[in-house]
Amino acid sequence: MELLSSKRVDLVHDRLVDQGVDYEPLRLELLDHICCAIEQKMDCGVAFAEALEQSIHGFGPKGLERTQEATIYLITLKLRKMKKLAAISGLLGGFLTVFATVFKLLHWPGANIMLVNGIALIVLLFLPTMIYVQFKQTEGVWSKVTTVVGLITAIAMGIATLFKVLHWPGASVLIYGSSILLGMFFMPLYFVRTYRIAENKLFRSSIVIVIFAGIFLFIGLTQLGGGKIFSGGFLAIMERTYHMQETMSGNNAQYANQIDEKAQSSSEKIAEMRSKANELYLHLDDLQYQLIAATNGISVEAARNASPEKINWMAGPKEINQVLFAEEGNWTVKMLRQKMADYQAFALTQYPVANQELVSDNLSFTTLESWEAKQNQSWEAANFANRPLFFVVSYLDLVKTETRHIESQVLMYRLGQSTVAASTASLNEAPEIES
């Protein structure tokens, strides 16, 4: 048997390319096969051109193309199954995680179950299948490096998220570490590598969804960025409020002194009013630190000494509910309401009975009865139930300010009274000019 000349081999090769056999491993193999068949036919006296036609026709119409299709179908069967699994588990896990994060931020029930399932889907199904697909699909050192970096990043992210959700120590280190891996190593590598591969949109979109879920989770659970801006504003308002309360307290002390100078007789009553106001103010102050201590898991002493930036103002509402809605105790809302009502009632007794009705609106905490009537909701439920720390502490600050305000009202009234009394007295003491 005589071998075909290289020129004729080239002719057969060109013919295979024309027929659409572009998968090279198969084309080279079919080239050898057809050449063998031609050689055998030529041995039997058939001319090259006809032997070539017969061999090509032996495959049937579009036979070469179909052979290629069948080959690629068979060798990629497992890969396609894995791709489908990766796509489905990725989309499902990603969506579950995103929804769970939204649920968690809104304090809706079921968030933790969704989150654990979503992360389990991603870590146990999506990641292993995706790593397999990536390894099978890609060739070259850089693609393999991307895959390995992606695996490490994804595992770190999954573990970090679980740590954060379960409140285990070290979560923030893992979060920062995996964020750096994700943003500085994996994402640039991945996008550079895969930008050119435009096949299988479902598969690629699942990856994007999972990446978004991860970023979403990090921002949502750690309050990076937004949380800092929020707490900065909150702390500034708290500081201004405190200064306002101090100013009011200083003014009230001055009023009291002026009253004392003008009319010694009423000084006992003034002192009682001042001590009642201070008593309620200190109770509110103590209550704030009780709540900070309970939500942040530190002692009251530590809460008083802690710098405001170190306190987690988003904490609660579980611990707050436990303190404020306990059966009994000094720090319940019930006790607070009692103290506020007593203070209000005492302030009212500083006025003559005839004037009490007139001034009672000015002397009540704006938020007790009037609020309930307008909102059709109890004061306790609206301002304390299921609220985070920053909300309750701000509200208690408002009550503190109002305590000082009521004190001011009473003292200003007394000051007015004693001024009138003093001038009346001085008029009475004046020598009569005319009889």
Partner 1 sequence: MYICLMYSKELLKGTLRTVVMELLARNEKMYGYEITQKVKELTNGKIVITEGALYPLLHKLEADGLVSIEKVAIGKRIRKYYSLTDNGSSTAQQLVEEFADFVATMKLIIDPPAQPGYGTAIV
| Residues binding partner 1 (CB under 8 A) | 3-4, 6, 9-10, 25-26, 28-33, 35-37, 58-60, 63, 66-67, 70-71, 73-75, 77-78
Residue 76 or 322: the one with the smaller Cβ distance to partner 1 is 76
Alpha carbon of 308 to those of 147, 238, 246, 257, 313: distances in Å? 43, 10, 18, 35, 9
What residues contact residue 344 under an 8 Å CB cut-off, 6+ apart? 363, 364, 365, 368, 406
Shortest spacing between CB 89 and partner 1, in angstroms: 24
Residue 70 or 253: the one with the smaller Cβ distance to partner 1 is 70
Shortest spacing between CB 150 and partner 1, in angstroms: 24
Which contiguous run of DSSP H or E holds residue 192? helix 187-194
Residue 4 or 156: the one with the smaller Cβ distance to partner 1 is 4
What residues contact residue 252 under an 8 Å CB cut-off, 6+ apart? 274, 277, 404, 407, 408, 411
- Distance separating alpha carbons of residues 427 and 101, to the nearest angstrom: 75
- Distance separating alpha carbons of residues 376 and 370, to the nearest angstrom: 10
- Distance separating alpha carbons of residues 14 and 31, to the nearest angstrom: 10
Shortest spacing between CB 3 and partner 1, in angstroms: 6
Long-range own/partner contacts, residues 33-36 (CB < 8 A, 24 or more apart):
35/4, 35/9
DSSP label at residue 308: G
Count, residues in the chain: 435
Token pair belonging to 383? 């301002």
Alpha carbon of 354 to those of 348, 360, 413, 414, 421: distances in Å? 11, 11, 14, 15, 18
Phi-psi region of 61 (alpha: psi -120 to 50; beta: other; left: phi over 0): beta
Residue 70 or 422: the one with the smaller Cβ distance to partner 1 is 70
Residue 56 or 399: the one with the smaller Cβ distance to partner 1 is 56
Residue 15 or 337: the one with the smaller Cβ distance to partner 1 is 15
Q: How far is CA 37 from the centre of its chain?
A: 69
Q: How far is CA 369 from the centre of its chain?
A: 36
Residue 18 or 369: the one with the smaller Cβ distance to partner 1 is 18
Residue 70 or 229: the one with the smaller Cβ distance to partner 1 is 70
At 219, is the secondary structure helix, strand, or coil? Answer: helix
Shortest spacing between CB 36 and partner 1, in angstroms: 4
Shortest spacing between CB 87 and partner 1, in angstroms: 22
Residue 9 or 187: the one with the smaller Cβ distance to partner 1 is 9
Shortest spacing between CB 71 and partner 1, in angstroms: 4
Residue 30 or 415: the one with the smaller Cβ distance to partner 1 is 30
Residue 81 or 228: the one with the smaller Cβ distance to partner 1 is 81
Shortest spacing between CB 198 and partner 1, in angstroms: 24
Shortest spacing between CB 32 and partner 1, in angstroms: 5
What residues contact residue 41 under an 8 Å CB cut-off, 6+ apart? 50, 51, 54, 55
Which contiguous run of DSSP H or E holds residue 287? helix 267-296
Shortest spacing between CB 69 and partner 1, in angstroms: 9
Shortest spacing between CB 30 and partner 1, in angstroms: 7
What residues contact residue 228 under an 8 Å CB cut-off, 6+ apart? none
Shortest spacing between CB 48 and partner 1, in angstroms: 15
